[in-house]
Structure 1
Amino acid sequence: MSTQIYPLKFEPIYQYRIWGGRKLEHLLSKPLPENEPVGEAWILSDRKDHSTQVSGGNLKGLTLTNLMADFRYEIMGKLGYHFEHFPLLLKFLDCKEVLSVQVHPSDDQKEYIPQGDLGKTEAWVVLETSEDSRIYAGLKKGTTKENLVESIQNKSVADRLHSFVPKKDDAVFIHSGTVHTLGGTVVFEVQENSDVTFRLYDWDRTDPKTGEPRELQVEKALACIDFKQVDIGPVIPEKSKDMKNAEKLFDNEHFKLWRIKSESEFTVGFKDEPAILVCTEGQGMMKYNDADYTISKGEVVLLPAIIGLLDLHPEQEITLLQIAIPDRK
């Protein structure tokens, strides 16, 4: 059965969001739904309600959920003993308007997480900015539950949030419990496989589809905030010792992420572990079992663990994000 497995590409799933725009059509080849703001493209997802489908080859049409049921150990390798479901969710976000001010619970805050689900630690890589780009990450020092509640009541929440103007290629780590939002940017997002978000404040706007304000979950949000998460800025990339032309952006218990920029051939993948490749600029080609597999801007490729290492040949310069899942022993 494992001979069927090959480097897997997936169809993105577009999501309507009131804060979204139309910029994802420049990043992805799949046409956007007409006449509505698209805020998110889920590019690798093992969620019951939205599981991405393989876009080509003999497994075309199967979802990542199907693959994890039928090929769990081929895909996950030694990590298959720890994960029944694929543990990460990958997205592109087009934040034309600013998102709600929000927070996500941590894995151990079980009372705030649906059964069988996870908390949500996430991270962003900035792909595009605009004149009104801003990232809000963490609280300002000195913010307490009391003065935060007061700022919600008098609509001055922004004064309690740390923020900065992002630049293209900035990478920002948002640990669970961190108050955050962003606007005027297009980002790549990697996160735990979770969809639990508590809105603290939504800028007093209404949803054009319903004519109503979106629901807030202020009490739950307050309960999940880590008030020590303050003044968060972009991470400082670390030159990789193991990968050529690569810098490590994130390394935590949920995911590791490297950014590779190269005009010459380089190796991708890991031994007996899955690798996720996301192309943000350019295109390249890999050979596996005498077949060619391409990756180009806006595409994600899942390299199942059974494949191991492959050589990637860029057409010109390519910018590739490579993601690993840490082994939870």
Structure 2
Amino acid sequence: MNNALYPLKFEPIYQYRLWGGRKLANLLSKPLPDDEPIGEAWILSDRKDHASKVIEGALKGYSITQLMKEYPNELMGKLAGKFDYFPLLLKFLDCKEVLSVQVHPSDDQKSYLPKGDTGKTEAWVVLETDKDSRIYAGLKKGTDQQNLRQAIQTHSVADKLHSFIPKPGDAVFIHSGTVHTLGGTVVFEVQENSDVTFRLYDWDRTDSKTGKPRDLQVDEAMACIDFDQVDIGPVKPVTETHHTNTEKLFDNEHFILWRMKYKSPLKVGFKNEPTILVCLEGSAKVVSNAKHYPISKGDVVLLPAAIGECDVQPDNQISLLQITIPGKDNNKRS
């Protein structure tokens, strides 16, 4: 098939988490599973156990894994052949309760990574907060392995963590090796395509499904902590020079992310590279090859590289995240 690809919309994959809630029902149109806490919706995932599937058009039912194999050049463009799997994992998180205190290894800590997996650098955009919202990001200065281990034994780990009260719109970058957790928030998360997490502490709670505490991986976590990652706060958005309704929130070797708020038509996407759109508010039509593809709150749309730049026609005020992949040569772009 020539030029078989089009703007691709995917079905969210819900995940039970004991710290989750039910707020994702307000964000996504797919009904939540009955009567259990849902902590995560994986909205674009190329994992063997959880591969996102296209929900509309001629490729309905195709997984992102199949698309990467059958249409590598059309999907990835100049990035074709650089990645065995789609390199990013996108999620919405409903953190009703605080998550475990955790850390993720870096790409070069191979002994702590399953074969074929990467490290995990991630970032959050805060969507909703509550009266008990808090983000823990990085350690407090002066924390070392010895006094952190002691804090685990004395159930005082929170005293060693830097934290702040988030507000909607905050953007937080969590480099691999950063001790972190969050609670009382709904966030969008972009991360490397990895599911490697080492729990340092889990607030002494039990999982209601098993009646047991969840496993900790204290030694592995300690080995992966970057003790120089301290006092992490929200990033300062960079407003685009010629597009004042567009802010760049993150720009690193794994992903570049912009936040765009428009009532008037706008351009999205880039020539010969894939682009991801995530709709946070409002609705619009994505125009490609003279066809209209609707996008509304909670939707994720992957624009294949073969499509290039597209027009977006908002129905009302729309808030979009636009995400691109720099590739392994870290070509940064404004």
Structure 1 residue 221: deviation in Å? 0.2
Match of 2:36 in 1: 36
Please state how far the C-alpha of 1:83 moved relative to its aligned partner.
Answer: 1.5
1:71-119 Cα offsets, whole Å, 9 max, x none, are 1111100001311210000000000000000000000000000011000
- Structure 1 residues 22-78: Cα deviation after superposition (integer angstroms, max 9, x where no partner): 000000000000000000000000000000000110100111001101011111000
1:72 is matched with 72
Q: Distance in 1 between matches of 2:291 and 2:266?
A: 18
1:202 aligns with 2:186: no
CA distance in 2, matches of 1:2, 1:273: 17
SS of the residue 2:186 aligns to:
strand
Matches of 2:142 and 2:320 in 1, distance apart?
Answer: 39
Q: Residue 162 of structure 1: CA displacement?
A: 0.1
Q: Is the 8 A contact 2:177 2:226 kept in 1?
A: yes
Equivalent residue number for residue 178 of structure 1 = 178
2:296 is aligned with 1:296: yes
Deviations for 1:275-310, whole angstroms, at most 9, x for unmatched residues?
Answer: 000000101102222321011000000000000001
* Kept in 1: contact 2:283–2:296 (CA 8 A): yes
User: Matched residues in 2 for 1:116 and 1:2: separation?
Assistant: 31
| Pairwise CA distance, 1:242 | 5.7
Matched, 1:165 2:140: no
Report the number of matched residues. Answer: 329
> What amino acid does structure 2 have at the position aligned with 1:74?
E
Structure 1 residue 243 displacement after superposition: 4.4
Q: Output the amino acid matched with 1:270.
A: F
AA of the residue aligned to 1:12: P
Q: CA deviation at 1:328?
A: 2.1
Instruction: Quickly say closer, same or farther: Cα 1:2–1:193, change in 2 above 3 A.
Output: farther
Contact in 2 for aligned 1:2/1:74 (Cα 8 Å):
no
1:148-178 superposed Cα distances (whole Å, 9 cap, x missing partner): 0000000000000000000000000000000
* Contact preservation (8 Å) 1:128, 1:186: yes
Task: State, as a whole percentage, how many aligned pairs show the same letter.
Answer: 70
* Aligned residue type for 1:266: L
The residue aligned with 1:326 is 326
1:40, 1:92 within 8 Å by CA — same for their partners in 2?
yes
Amino acid at match of 1:252: N
Match of 1:106 in 2: 106
**Aligned equivalents of 1:44, 1:15: Cα separation in 2:** 13
- 2:122–2:192: 8 Å Cα contact kept in structure 1? yes
Partners of 1:327 and 1:221 lie apart in 2 by 28
* Aligned ranges 1:76-87 → 2 under 5 Å: 76-87=76-87
| One-letter amino acid of the structure 1 residue matched with residue 30 of structure 2 | K
CA distance in 1, matches of 2:10, 2:244: 27
Paired residue for 2:257? Answer: 257
- Decide whether the 8 Å contact of 2:72 with 2:81 is kept in 1: no
CA contact (8 A) 2:3 2:74 kept: no
Distance 2:65 2:122 in 1: 21
One-letter identity of the residue aligned with 2:152: I
C-alpha contact 1:7 1:302 (8 A) present in aligned 2 = yes
SS in 2 for 1:305: coil
Give 3-state SS (helix, strand or coil) of 1:76's partner: helix
In 2, Cα distance between equivalents of 1:105 and 1:2: 41
Counterpart residue type for residue 208 of structure 1: S
Q: Trace 1:120-269 onto structure 2 (pairs within 5 A).
A: 120-241=120-241, 243=243, 245-269=245-269
Return the letter of the residue paired with 1:220: E
Would you say the 8 A contact 2:45–2:89 is kept in 1? Answer: yes
Task: For residues 118-145 of structure 1, give each alpha carbon's deviation from its aligned partner in whole angstroms, at most 9, with x where no partner exists.
Answer: 0000000000000000000000000010
**In structure 2, the residue corresponding to 1:212 is in which secondary structure?**
coil
| One-letter code aligned to 2:134 | R
Give SS of 1:286's match.
strand
- Measure the CA separation in 2 of the matches of 1:150 and 1:124: 30
Q: Distance in 2 between matches of 1:240 and 1:219?
A: 43
User: Would the alpha carbon gap of residues 26 and 279 (structure 1) be closer, same or farther in structure 2, given more than 3 Å must change?
Assistant: same
| Distance in 2, Cα, partners of 1:2 & 1:305 | 14
Q: Secondary structure at the match of 1:81?
A: coil
Q: Structure 2: how far apart are the matches of 1:273 and 1:286?
A: 17
**Structure 2 counterpart of 1:26:** 26
Contact 2:139 2:160 (C-alpha < 8 Å) held by counterparts: yes
Q: 1:274 corresponds to which residue?
A: 274
- AA matched with 2:162: H
The answer on 1:48 being equivalent to 2:48 is yes
